[in-house]
């Protein structure tokens, strides 16, 4: 098949993980024998406001309209040269005018939009989902959300590329646990529990120690001044940002619930700052090469919770993460938060292990650190399962089978 892809939220890899999804999707498609025609339109201008679900400013609408027309023109031109068999995108509502799918569909090209935040940020893709032929979602429980907007959802989980995520030999594992990821939700609370119980742990990622900001997110002159495409964006952690958050709470939840939500956010931020000193000796900066980092530790941890609506103060809900396939593919003793869905992909306690509460996290981390032979059994079984069942090649074979498309 000839597959047209538009899955990079930025041409520049420094912004919005510009190569993340192309580096996952493209090698698998090529291994299956498909030809890839990648969009050359930079989604970055629209990615800068992709946290906005609707009610775009006139300037934002103009940016989206320009991007939409350029992509439609690309598809039309490529289709004229040789028919396109599938259009695969990773669009938020901000990236692409949903009506643009009509132009692509008139060419006879079926469309699929991938999205992996449906559990807690569905509103950011709802308009796209309603117009694209197929909405590819990764969370099993997200199906009902898509159906409410008239979408046609297909559930296929994420995977890992064994060429990128793989074992590293010749490394002596430290008798320590390790977590790689940014500070978010209850991750710091759980890690603080481990540290409090004298469990040795190293932490890699953003937000775990005081350091200059990294050039990995939005950095434009307009946004530094607090204004971008007609929308005011307060500086993070400023008084204006707190006021803006409180106002949004009142608008969305009413006065009483809004006050409670704002108070809970205040308490969360206060506790977050209070916990910071506990991570001084554990924080290790950024893990620039993930495979050797994982190979250095006896136990690799992960945390599954996200905020129910994407903002602090809402309910914490667990879901399957990309790391749930990458870490076992690196042949790790992997311990992650329990979800019903993770049991669809691994035999728990034999291929990976899970915890349901802080006490269980503490007990199981201690167990695997004290019993390296048991950690090794988990490591090997998880690796073999990931290698056999959880590659991106396998995921695309599953997707195309559900779509009724050929895989070669």
The pLDDT of residue 238 = 56
- 174-209+280-389 folds as Rossmann fold (3.40.50)
The pLDDT of residue 219 = 35
The pLDDT of residue 312 = 79
The pLDDT of residue 221 = 34
Sequence ranges of the domains in the chain: 2-159+391-403, 174-209+280-389, 221-276
Name the CATH superfamily housing domain 2-159+391-403.
Answer: Glycogen Phosphorylase B; (3.40.50.2000)
The pLDDT of residue 113 = 98
Q: From CA 198, how far away is CA 202, in angstroms rounded?
A: 12
pLDDT tens-place values along the chain, 408 residues long: 999 999 999 999 889 888 999 999 999 999 999 999 999 999 999 999 999 999 999 999 999 999 999 999 999 999 999 999 999 999 999 999 999 999 999 999 999 999 999 998 999 999 999 999 999 999 999 999 999 999 999 999 999 999 999 999 999 999 999 999 999 999 999 999 999 999 999 999 999 986 544 433 333 333 433 577 877 666 655 555 556 666 666 666 677 676 777 777 777 778 888 899 999 999 999 998 999 999 999 999 999 999 887 777 788 999 999 999 999 999 999 999 999 999 999 999 999 999 999 999 999 999 999 999 999 999 999 999 999 999 999 999 999 999 998 655
Residues 152, 172: contact at Cβ < 8 Å? no
Q: Read off the pTM.
A: 0.89
Same fold, 2-159+391-403 and 174-209+280-389: yes
The pLDDT of residue 279 = 95
The pLDDT of residue 361 = 98
């Amino acid at each position: 098949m000839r597959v047209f892809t538009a899955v990079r939220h930025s041409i520049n890899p420094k912004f919005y993980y510009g190569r993340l999804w192309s580096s996952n999707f493209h090698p698998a498609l090529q291994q299956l024998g498909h030809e890839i025609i990648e969009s050359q339109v930079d989604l970055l201008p629209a990615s800068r406001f992709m946290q906005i679900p609707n009610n775009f400013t006139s300037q934002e609408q103009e940016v989206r309209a320009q991007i939409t027309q350029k992509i439609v023109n690309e598809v039309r031109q490529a289709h004229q040269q040789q028919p396109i068999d599938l259009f695969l995108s990773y669009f938020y509502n901000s990236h692409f005018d949903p009506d643009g799918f009509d132009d692509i569909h008139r060419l006879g090209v079926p469309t699929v939009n991938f999205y992996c935040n449906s559990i807690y940020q569905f509103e950011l893709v709802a308009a796209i989902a309603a117009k694209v032929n197929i909405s590819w979602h990764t969370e099993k429980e997200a199906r009902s959300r898509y159906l409410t907007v008239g979408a046609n959802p297909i559930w296929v989980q994420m995977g890992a590329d064994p060429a990128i995520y793989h074992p590293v030999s010749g490394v002596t594992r430290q008798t320590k646990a390790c977590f790689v990821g940014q500070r978010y939700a209850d991750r710091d609370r759980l890690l603080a529990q481990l540290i409090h119980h004298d469990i040795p742990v190293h932490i890699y990622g953003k937000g775990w120690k005081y350091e200059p900001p990294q050039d990995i997110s939005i950095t434009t002159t307009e946004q530094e001044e607090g204004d971008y495409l007609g929308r005011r964006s307060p500086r993070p952690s400023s008084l204006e940002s707190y006021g803006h958050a409180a106002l949004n709470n009142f608008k969305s939840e009413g006065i009483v619930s809004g006050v409670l939500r704002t108070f809970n956010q205040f308490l969360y931020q206060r506790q977050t700052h209070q916990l910071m000193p506990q991570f001084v000796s554990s924080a290790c900066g950024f893990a620039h090469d993930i495979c050797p980092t994982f190979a250095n530790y006896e136990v690799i941890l992960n945390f599954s919770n996200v905020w129910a609506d994407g903002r602090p103060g809402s309910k914490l809900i667990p879901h399957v993460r990309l790391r749930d396939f990458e870490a076992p593919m690196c042949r790790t003793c992997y311990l992650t938060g329990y979800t019903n869905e993770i049991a669809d992909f691994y035999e728990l306690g034999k291929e990976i292990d899970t915890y349901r509460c802080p006490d269980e996290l503490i007990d199981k981390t201690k167990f695997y650190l004290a019993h390296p032979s048991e950690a090794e059994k988990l490591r090997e079984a998880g690796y073999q399962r990931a290698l056999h069942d959880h590659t991106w090649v396998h995921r695309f074979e599953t997707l195309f089978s559900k779509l009724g498309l050929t895989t070669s």
